């Protein structure tokens, strides 16, 4: 499933993707079906409008992922001294962790030399082999290098309208990451999917806009750009976060990444570019989450408050918040602290519009008393903000 900003854009990219396929004499890719979806967006000037995107199901020639009984599993590409692991043809049962840090090798020629890329393939008997770019034709016995390149190129073309940041040149990554941290801390991290559902901009999109020179001639847009950059710099200064970029880099250098997504976040950050802008933004969020995880009051201070099942009013300050997707909706977790240092937690549906550091009158039902990493927490539900 691919998402396009318009039917015209979909047809343009399908036609573009069919060019390398035509050179190989393969059946052209085609659109099987598409479904329109409404998206609400907040403009730079503060207005709102609704536009339509198109989720499309597309047929891709089998030859691009299956060659003479051998299935292409992944592309391994050297970026900035690290390996980017990109799966081809969807999820597989094969674990690709071993290709993250090891030098790129070719099990066909077994020559030890520096390589920029290779392909991981599953043979007809179920064994997995890594073949270097220069040996794929010899390994398969046919001119398959073009097919593999076409496969990678086709997927990249069809994805180019779905993610921000593809192929762009941006301001330095350091400012972008600092802005992502500021946005996550003060507004809560917003993914593109969440932005589509709730309106507004994703954290990655807004941070990129703020990190780049403003190009709009709209006075309000230029004013908003300057004011938000000033707010971000002030917050980063006050919270000793002007070096957030260096801290994020250190975090990912030291972090063990058992999950494939986390590994690619690590590579995206350590590559020092914004080629994979969305992964860089999420990597900054994960670092910030690790820092704020202990934002709740210490165990020696935090005690349970309220009576379970009873609805009460609390005067609380927002210590941290972050949003995440569930199968039903977007959920935002807000960690509060009262004047005595007690920790209260509310998992709200959607985005309640709270700000870190601000104090509110919160009317809610005490759902439960729990303990998290040694900290006593009071869980609230059905909250109303006064």
All domains in the chain, ordered by first residue: 2-62 (no CATH), 69-141 (no CATH), 173-292 (no CATH), 311-385 (2.40.50.110)
For residue 279, count other CB atoms closer than 10 A to its CB.
23
Phi, psi of 222 (to 5 degrees): -65, -40
**Any idea what DSSP says for residue 109?**
T
d(CA 169, CA 212) in angstroms, rounded, equals 10
Q: List the single range of 37-46, 75-84, 121-130, 173-182 with lowest mean pLDDT.
A: 37-46
- The predicted model scores a pTM of 0.50
Per-residue model confidence as pLDDT tens digits over 126-167: 889 999 988 888 888 777 766 777 777 776 677 666 433 333
User: What Å distances lie between residue 75 and 63, 151, 174, 369, 378, CA to CA?
Assistant: 16, 10, 28, 48, 47
Whose structure tokens read 């301001």?
171
Segment (H or E) for 83: strand 82-87
Question: By the 8 A CB rule, do 321 and 331 touch?
Answer: no
pLDDT at position 63 over 60: yes
Using CA atoms, how far apart are residues 124 and 104, in angstroms rounded to an integer?
Answer: 23
Winning range, highest mean pLDDT, from 164-173, 270-279, 298-307, 373-382: 373-382
State how far the Cα of 182 lies from the Cα of 203, in Å rounded to an integer.
10
Separation between Cα atoms, residue 321 and residue 183, nearest integer Å: 11
CB 54 within 8 A of CB 31: no
In angstroms, rounded to a whole number, what is the distance separating the alpha carbons of residues 350 and 333?
A: 10
Question: What percent of the chain stands above pLDDT 70?
Answer: 84
> Does the pLDDT of residue 37 top 60, yes or no?
yes
Phi, psi of 297 (to 5 degrees): -60, 145
User: Model confidence at 38, in pLDDT bands (50, 70, 90)?
Assistant: low
pLDDT given at position 181:
94
The predicted pLDDT at position 159 comes to 66
- Of 378 and 58, more confident: 378
Pick from 55, 313, 54, 269: which is nearest to 178 by CA?
A: 269
């Amino acid at each position: 499933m691919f998402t396009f900003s318009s039917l015209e854009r979909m047809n343009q990219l399908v036609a573009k993707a069919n060019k390398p396929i035509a050179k190989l004499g393969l059946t052209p890719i085609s659109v099987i079906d598409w479904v329109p979806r409404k998206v609400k967006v907040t403009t730079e000037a503060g207005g709102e409008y609704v536009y339509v995107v198109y989720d499309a199901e597309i047929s891709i020639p089998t030859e691009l992922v299956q060659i003479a009984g051998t299935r292409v599993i992944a592309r391994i590409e050297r970026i900035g001294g690290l390996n980017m692991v990109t799966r081809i043809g969807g999820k597989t049962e094969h674990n690709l962790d071993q290709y993250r840090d090891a030098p790129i090798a070719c099990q066909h020629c077994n020559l030890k030399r520096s390589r920029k890329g290779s392909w991981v393939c599953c043979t007809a008997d179920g064994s997995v082999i890594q073949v270097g770019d220069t040996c794929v034709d010899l390994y398969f016995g046919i001119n398959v290098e073009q097919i593999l390149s076409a496969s990678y190129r086709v997927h990249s073309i069809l994805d180019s309208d779905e993610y921000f940041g593809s192929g762009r040149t941006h301001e330095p990554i350091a400012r972008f990451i600092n802005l992502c941290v500021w946005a996550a801390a003060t507004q809560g991290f917003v993914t593109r999917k969440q932005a589509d559902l709730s309106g507004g901009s994703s954290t990655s999109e807004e941070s990129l806009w703020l990190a780049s020179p403003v190009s709009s001639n709209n006075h309000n847009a230029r004013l908003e750009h300057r004011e938000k950059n000033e707010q971000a710099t002030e917050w980063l200064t006050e919270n000793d976060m002007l070096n957030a970029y260096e801290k994020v880099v250190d975090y990912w250098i030291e972090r063990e990444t058992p999950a494939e997504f986390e590994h690619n976040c690590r590579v995206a950050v350590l590559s020092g570019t914004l080629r994979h802008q969305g992964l860089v933004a999420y990597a900054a969020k994960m670092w910030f989450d690790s820092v704020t995880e202990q934002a709740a009051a210490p165990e020696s201070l935090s005690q349970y408050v309220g009576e379970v099942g009873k609805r009460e009013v609390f005067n609380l300050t927002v210590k941290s918040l972050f949003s995440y997707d569930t199968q039903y909706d977007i959920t935002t977790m807000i960690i509060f602290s009262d004047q005595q240092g007690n920790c209260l937690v509310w998992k709200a549906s959607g985005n309640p519009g709270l700000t870190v550091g601000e104090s509110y009158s919160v009317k809610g039902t005490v759902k439960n008393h729990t303990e998290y990493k040694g900290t006593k927490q009071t869980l609230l539900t059905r909250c109303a903000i006064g």
